[in-house]
Amino acid sequence: MVNKMLTSSSHAHQTNLFGTDLLLQLDPEDPLVKLSFAIPWQKFDQAFAIHYTTGIGAPSKPIRLMVGLLLLKQLENLSDEEVVVQWKRNPYYQAFCGVTEFQQNLPCHSTELVHFRKRIGKDGFETIFQMSVGLHGRHAKEETVNIDTTVQEKNITYPTDSKLAIKIINRLNKIAKRHGIQQRRTYLKEVKKLRLDIRHFRHVKKRSKAKRALKRLRTIARALIRELRRTLPAYCLFEFYQKDFLFYDQVLNQKPGRQELRQQQVYQKAIEIMFEKAPGFAPTWQITLKEAEEEMKNAEKGIIPFFRRMTSSSTGSSAGQQENSSKKVLELQDQSGN
C-alpha cells in the first residue's frame, strides 16, 4: 500500500475575521450537527494514526473527513460516488466532517474511500462500530432482537450437489498438508476441469457429461479418504478425524429419494417443452412447468391405478379363498358335532 503522510484533523471552530464559521450558519438542532458533537473524533485520530507515516509520502486526507464520509455513507445508504457528490452539495455533510468553511470542490476521489477501508482493515471497522454502539448507551442493549432473514443467504446446499464433493476434497487436502503427508495425487487440476463440466448439468445434450463429472468427483473424494485412513497416525485418525470421515462417507453415499427423482423428471420435461416453444428461458416457464406436472400426473394415472387394481384383485381373491375355506371348516365341525 502507498505510504501516506498523516494530516491532522481540525476539531476546533474558531471565529474568523474575514468569514463566518460554517457551523454558525447552520441549524444547531439538526441531527447531523448534534451527532458531530457527540462523536469522539480524537479517538479515531489516535487509533488510525498508526496506519500513516510522519514525514514520508503524499499528504493524506484528514482522518475525520474519511471516517465522516464512511458514516454518512452508511447513514444515508449511499455509494462511494454518491456520498462524495452529496458532500459537495450539502453543507451539513461538510460540517459533520469537520470543515469550517463551505467547500465547492469534492472532498476526495471516490476510490480514496476504498483505499482508506483497506488501510484500517477489519479492526478499524470494529472500532467505528463500537463507537456507534457506545453512543446509544443502554438503549443499544436489547433483550430480544427481531431479524428478518427472508433474503439472507443460507448455508444450505443439496446433498448430491458437486459443491459438497469439492468441499470434501479441499478439506481432505488441507488435512494432508497440515500433517505433512505426501499424497499420491491432490487432483487439483482434474477437480478444476470437472467443476467446469458440472455447469452443463441442465443442458439437454451435455447432461451425461455433467453426470460423469459428478460421479468422478465422488470417486476422487473416496480415494482421498482411503488414502488418509492409511497414512494418518492412529491417534489422529481415531481422536480427531474419524467422525469427519464417517460423515464424508455418508454425504457421498446419499442419493435422492423417490420424490426428488420425480421432481427432476418434471423439470426435465419442462425444459424439453421450453426448447420446443421458445429458445432460452422465457416468461412462459411457469406455464410449461405446470404442463409438465400435468403430463407426469397423467402418466402416473395410467400406471399406479393398474397396479392397485392388480394388487386389490389378487388380495380380494385370496381373501375369498380364505373365507370359503373357513366356511368349509365350520360345516365339517357342525357335521361332526351332529
The confidence score (pLDDT) of residue 330 equals 47
| pLDDT in the model for residue 216 | 92
Q: Which amino acid is at 79?
A: S
Whole-number pLDDT of residue 191: 92
What residue spans define the domains of the chain? 4-137, 162-255, 256-302
Per-residue pLDDT of the chain (338 residues; tens, 9 = 90+): 555 667 766 655 555 555 567 777 888 888 888 888 888 888 888 888 888 887 777 788 888 899 999 999 988 889 999 999 999 998 898 888 888 888 889 999 989 999 999 998 888 888 888 888 788 777 667 677 777 766 666 666 555 578 888 989 999 999 999 888 888 999 999 999 998 888 777 777 888 888 888 889 999 999 999 998 888 888 777 778 888 888 888 888 877 656 665 666 676 677 667 667 665 555 555 666 677 777 766 665 654 455 555 555 444 554 455 555 555 544 545 554 54
∠ CA 204-207-209 to the nearest 5 degrees? Answer: 140
Cell of 262: 420425480
* Region label for 77, one of left (φ > 0), alpha (ψ between -120 and 50) or beta (otherwise): left
Three-state DSSP at 58 gives strand
User: Which among 159, 162, 158 is positioned nearest to 216, based on CA atoms?
Assistant: 162
- Please name which of 37, 44, 170, 159 lies closest in space to residue 96, comparing C-alpha atoms: 37
Identify whether the C-beta of residue 181 lies closer than 8 Å to the C-beta of residue 228.
yes
Based on the number of CB atoms within 10 Å of its own CB, is 140 exposed (0-12), middle (13-18) or buried (19 or more)?
A: exposed
pLDDT of 220 reads 93
pTM across the whole model: 0.43
Taking CB atoms within 8 Å and a gap of at least 24, the contacts of 231-235 are: 231/176, 231/181, 232/175, 232/179, 232/181, 233/179
Q: What is the DSSP letter of 8?
A: P
Residue 234 has a CB neighbour count (10 Å cut-off) of: 7
Residues 6+ apart with CB under 8 A from 270: 285, 288, 289, 291, 292
Residues 6+ apart with CB under 8 A from 240: none
Q: What integer pLDDT is reported at residue 163 of this predicted model?
A: 84
Amino acid identity, position 308: R
